[in-house]
Amino acid sequence: MEEATIKKLMTSAKCSGCGQRYEIDDIEVIGHHDELWFMSVFCMACHAHYLVAANVDEETAGEVVTDLSVAELEKFRDADGLKADEVLDMHDFLKEFDGDFSRLFSGRKA
């Protein structure tokens, strides 16, 4: 999976704040851990800044993505009707994660 592909996928996602679609230039790929990609996105329309985690399977590429800030992940954890496993996985991941992206993406185990 290429960064450019991920970014392209992300342009089909909308800002959870205002519904504006992201532009390629608004998306910065931070890195990935297996199929879990982290991006920083900035909405030009409402100036919201989100950390996005996308669980992207090579075979199902095109299925998007989790467009939530870390705080929102907390909020949605208990929400009714939430079926997106990747959100829950991400929550568990973040719970364990100490925020050191550089170490995460260097491939070393914590």
What φ, ψ does residue 22 adopt, rounded to 5°?
Answer: -75, 150
Minimum distance between the CB of residue 43 and Zn ion, rounded to whole angstroms?
3
List of residues contacting Zn ion (CB under 5 A) = 15, 17-18, 20, 43, 45-46, 48
Choice between 4 and 45, CB closer to Zn ion: 45
Of 90, 92, 91, 110, nearest to 100 by C-alpha is 110
What is the nearest approach in angstroms of Zn ion to the Cβ of residue 51?
14
Q: In angstroms, what is the minimal distance from the CB of 41 to Zn ion?
A: 9
Q: Which two tokens stand for residue 97?
A: 């994660």
CB of 55 to Zn ion, least distance (A): 22
Nearest CB to Zn ion, comparing residues 7 and 32: 7
Residue 48 or residue 61: which is nearer to Zn ion going by CB? 48
Q: Measured between alpha carbons, how far apart are the two ends of the chain, in Å?
A: 24
Tokens of 76: 């949605």
Instruction: Give the whole-angstrom CA distance, residue 2 versus residue 23.
Output: 17
CA 34 from chain centre, in angstroms, equals 13
Residue closer to Zn ion, measured from CB, 48 or 88: 48
